[in-house]
Structure 1
Amino acid sequence: MPHIYSQARKQYENDGDGIRLQKLLAQAGFGSRRKCEEMITDGRVEVDGELVTELGTRVDPKRQQVRVDGSRIRLNPRHITLALNKPRKVLSTMDDPKGRYTLRDIVGDKYERIFHMGRLDYDSEGLILMTNDGELSQHVMHPKYEVEKTYIATLEGHMSGTVCRRLVRTGVQLDDGWIKLDHCSIIDSNRDQTIVKVVLHSGRNRIVRRIFGAIGFPVKRLVRTQIGPIKLGDIKSGSYRVLSQDEVRALSKEVGL
């Protein structure tokens, strides 16, 4: 149970620095100033682990941690998180000594210390998340949280729904152990190819390609369309967009922040 906001914080509140808590919450997308005031007085907001119920409390978004209903609010104005649509034949890195096309060629040097959270192999396409928030990056990539990822895969050959269900129910043996899909459904198929939607938590290297290759259906094209709550949507290949506060909050919650 959090403590009521301590008297020790009063000096910070009274010195005129920082931003009023209800204003900060409104800027973070929690609604009008009045609604945010009600959230505070209803006891839903914590600052540095202490419950805040007094209006007018000031906080420093660069130094202090704010939670609403137990979920952390990402406050540092310097932090930025991007959703990028990686084309084929682009390296999931910021620099390449051989001079090949990298993520830096797409985002440029506009954002300080930004880095990718996870990778896609050279021939795969789709969603990559990037951020300069080190804590968020560590949580998204940590195996403990196993963030769910969704792919659309175009396979060589005609694959039946029975095979899809088997990959979910029993999985397949790879060189580094058994692996099962969380979801597999056929979108379209003909004699020559099958398009499937797959969902899995594993972050193993080239895992989707290895799964289908192991059962005789090599992947011709692979597009990642979703990571946790973040969707690729209509981002054009080779472009990116900045995630909204709501999206960053949802992603943070997904990885325990």
Structure 2
Amino acid sequence: MPNAYSRAQMAHDDTDSIRLQKLLAQAGFGSRRKCELMITEGRVEVDGELVTELGSRVNPKTQQVRVDGSRVRVNPNHVTLALNKPRRVLSAMEDPKGRYTLRDIVGDKYERIFHMGRLDYDSEGLILMTNDGELSQHVMHPKYEVEKTYIATVEGRLSGTVCRRLVKTGVQLDDGWIKLDHCAIIDATRDFTMVKVVLHSGKNRIVRRIFGSIGFPVKRLVRTQIGPIKLGEIKPGSYRVLSQTEVRALSKEVGL
């Protein structure tokens, strides 16, 4: 039975194979020189076996590569997007009612791409999309509960005391108790308060339900971050392709 290194050597005959250090560089681990050092230091595994010799080749479609125990995910057919959803866009790829959807933003450029999670029709901000089924499954699985950050504008003058209570004790909704991980007032007027909210729950309309339950209806809601991925400067109705470094950080966040 060939070990991982001999299987890697056999990949020389595979047209989809590439040098191991090149794959690591493409995955965002640094320069090829740095990746070569990682290999010789014994930090890289191929199919469960250490590879310490330079020059080996691997097929990222069929072989599993790990660095320091973490999976390296490089598949040239996979793409992951960060999209800024405007208000009144449906978090779906199609709509029988003819409403504007995510498909209208990304078009047909990427095969089998789908959104990881949703934002309600009147909310805005970051949505992640991918055609990597394993990544999508992990990001949306309740087990991992990826941290999400929102900027909410609510009716009324919200006090710091209320913010602290939402973090410390939370509120009881129809489907149980829920607490915020973080709540901070950004700005306030007599009629409105802008607040930064961080929580792990992915329940439907959860931020609107939390503030609505205590008498502060949400007038505007923007999601600015999912795990390590930030909305940044993406304009509403636009998107960008995540770098391999970002995909690797997201994958690590959800146990891949």
- TM-score band, normalised by the shorter chain? over 0.9
In percent, how many aligned pairs have the same letter?
85
Equivalent residue number for residue 254 of structure 1: 253
1:5·1:51 contact (CA, 8 Å) conserved in 2?
Answer: no
Per-residue CA deviations over 1:109-167 (Å, capped at 9, x if unaligned) read 00000000000000000000000000000000000000000000000001100000000
2:13 paired residue number = 15
2:213 maps to what in 1? 214
- Check whether the contact 2:5–2:51 (CA below 8 A) recurs between aligned residues: no
Q: How does 1:53-68 map to 2 (within 5 A)?
A: 53-68=52-67
Per the TM alignment, residue 29 of structure 1 is displaced from its structure 2 partner at its CA by 2.4
Aligned partners of 2:156, 2:110: CA distance in 1, in Å? 43
Q: Find the counterpart in structure 1 of residue 232 from structure 2.
A: 233
Q: Whole-Å Cα distance in 2 between the matches of residues 249 and 138 of structure 1?
A: 15
- Structure 1, unmatched stretches of 5+, are none
2-structure distance, mates of 1:159, 1:217: 8
Judge conservation of contact 1:5–1:47 (CA < 8 Å) in 2.
no
Q: Could you say if the C-alpha distance between residues 193 and 6 of structure 1 is closer, same or farther in structure 2, counting changes exceeding 3 Å?
A: closer
Shift of residue 14 of structure 1? 4.8
What's the CA shift for 1:7?
A: 6.1
Gaps of 5+ in 2: none
* SS state at 1:111 partner: coil
Q: Contact 2:5/2:49 (CA < 8 Å) preserved in 1?
A: no
How big is the shift at 1:171?
A: 0.2
Q: State how far apart, in whole Å, the 2-side matches of 1:10 and 1:92 are.
A: 42
Greater mean alpha carbon deviation, residues 56-65 or residues 240-249 = 56-65
Query: Structure 2 vs 1, CA of residues 39 and 221 (structure 1 numbering), >3 Å: closer, same or farther?
Result: same
Q: 1:6 to 1:125 in 2, by over 3 A?
A: closer
Distance 1:205 1:149 in 2: 13
In structure 1, how many angstroms separate the alpha carbons of the residues matched to 2:91 and 2:12?
47
Match of 1:95 in 2: 94
Q: Does the CA-based 8 Å contact 2:4-2:48 persist in structure 1? A: no
Change over 3 Å in CA distance of 1:12–1:120 after alignment to 2: same
Counterpart of 2:72, as a letter, is I
The answer to whether structure 1 residue 48 and structure 2 residue 47 are counterparts is yes
* 3-state SS in 2 of match to 1:98: coil
Q: How many residues matched?
A: 254
- Counterpart residue identity of residue 129, structure 2: M
